Amino acid sequence: MKKELKSLPFWLTSGRAAYHQVRSNPRGACHPWRQAASTEELRSTTTTSPINDHAHHTLTRHGPCFQRSQPQLRINQGRSENQEINMPPKKGAKVVKEEVNVALGPQVREGELVFGVAHIFASFNDTFVHVTDLSGRETVSRVTGGMKVKADRDESSPYAAMLAAQDVAARCKEVGITALHIKLRATGGTHTKTPGPGGQAALRALARAGMRIGRIEDVTPVPTDSTRRKGGRRGRRL
């Protein structure tokens, strides 16, 4: 039966008979017009890996005629066998990240003071604590009393000013500012020249937070001559 099948064309054979024909003549031609690759050539084309071993077993089991019809699996090309492959971490594995302390401020020696400028605007409606660099162009932090309380009447209170100054001092320490020059002002102009109740509380809170205090200056704008103040000739009626 096997000898008779050898003389028949490949496309006329089917089933178990075709399997025995290929197994009896593994190096022969699968098709009359094409010479198939041998088993040694198939081994040289596939690399050694569990996936390629399976592909090689499939090719040799069903005959070398499948060598050109099925895609070849090539893994680890251009890489030595001893070279490590960096695989992504598993989903359940915990990745430990190393914390790196980054200094945001200038590089100074220990004990050296880094100055900033604290512009405190204390009116009777709110208190602003605004810290900049020495030039005044770069803002480090700005917190107001209205950001720390909910009631409108408490925006200018000493308590709100103290909370605002504490937040500003914490931010200054993160940036590396250790000392502050104080510039305190009131509304000024045609209005009151007296700072509001939150000015003194903000200054005291900055000092208690560990900030070194440099110069304290009153920069309330005082006009030498000005426009007419509101209220009329007879003043404000009480």
Going by their DSSP bridges, the two strands 179-185 and 139-144 should be labelled as: unpaired
Q: Could you tell me if residue 101 is inside a domain?
A: no
Q: Could you tell me if residue 9 is inside a domain?
A: no
Q: Could you tell me if residue 66 is inside a domain?
A: no
* Model confidence band, residue 152 (pLDDT cutoffs 50, 70, 90): very high
Q: Could you tell me if residue 81 is inside a domain?
A: no
Q: Could you tell me if residue 223 is inside a domain?
A: no
Q: Could you tell me if residue 53 is inside a domain?
A: no
pLDDT per position as a tens digit, 50-89? 545 554 454 445 555 545 555 555 555 555 555 566 777 7
Within 10 angstroms of residue 88's Cβ, the number of other Cβ atoms is: 6
Domain that holds residue 194: 115-133+140-218
Q: Which two tokens stand for residue 211?
A: 């900030």
* Model confidence band, residue 35 (pLDDT cutoffs 50, 70, 90): very low
Is residue 2's pLDDT more than 80? no
Global pTM?
A: 0.57
Which residue type does 8 have? L
Q: Could you tell me if residue 57 is inside a domain?
A: no
Q: What is the CATH number of the domain that holds 123?
A: 3.30.420.80
Domain count within the chain: 1
Q: Could you tell me if residue 183 is inside a domain?
A: yes
Q: What percent of the chain has pLDDT over 90?
A: 52
Within 10 angstroms of residue 10's Cβ, the number of other Cβ atoms is: 17
Cα-based distances in Å from 173 to 60, 115, 118, 138, 141: 73, 11, 14, 16, 11
